[in-house]
């Protein structure tokens, strides 16, 4: 049986060699999409696809913004840091589907309205 320290180092090296950052990105984005889809089930296949895409994009885009804003680039060098980045990316993806759904519901509700009516409604909301 190998020493726990050396096997842990080997596991970390294998994780990083397999694309640790990509794994953290994909894992966080995928988990966010699954959670969002379970909490607010899509009403159609089209809505499912839009939900998946918007959640993944908001996970990766929002996560990248947060990493840059809080200067968390150094976290990439450790396995624990990669896991933490995956959690950050996960958290950034959660509001993505809700925001897209709200926007599309607003558009659907105002499908036959003119641009002046929509501008007036948006002005009232803001």
Residues 85/59, Cβ–Cβ less than 8 Å: no
Summarize pLDDT for 103-116 with one digit per residue, the tens.
888 888 888 989 99
**DSSP output for 21-79:** HHHHHHHHHHHHHHHHHHHS--SSHHHHHHHHHHHHHHHHHHHHHHHHHTT-GGGGGSH
- Give the residue extent of every domain in the chain: 16-125
**pLDDT grade for 11, boundaries at 50, 70 and 90:** low
- Percent of the chain whose pLDDT exceeds 90: 12
- The answer for 71, left when phi > 0, alpha when psi is -120 to 50, beta otherwise, is left
CA–CA gap between residue 101 and residue 80 (Å, rounded): 34
| Overall pTM surpassing 0.85 (yes/no) | no
pLDDT of res. 16: 57
């Amino acid at each position: 049986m190998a020493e726990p320290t050396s096997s842990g180092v080997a596991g970390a090296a294998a994780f990083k060699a397999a694309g640790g950052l990509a794994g953290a990105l994909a894992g966080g984005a995928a988990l966010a999409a699954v959670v969002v889809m379970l909490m607010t089930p899509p009403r159609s296949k089209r809505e499912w696809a839009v939900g998946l895409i918007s959640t993944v994009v908001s996970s990766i885009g929002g996560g990248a913004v947060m990493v840059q804003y809080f200067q968390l680039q150094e976290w990439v060098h450790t396995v624990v840091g990669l896991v933490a980045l995956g959690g950050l990316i996960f958290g950034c993806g959660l509001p993505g589907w809700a925001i897209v759904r709200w926007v599309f519901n607003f558009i659907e509700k105002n499908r036959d309205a003119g641009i002046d009516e929509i501008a007036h409604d948006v002005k009232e909301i803001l």
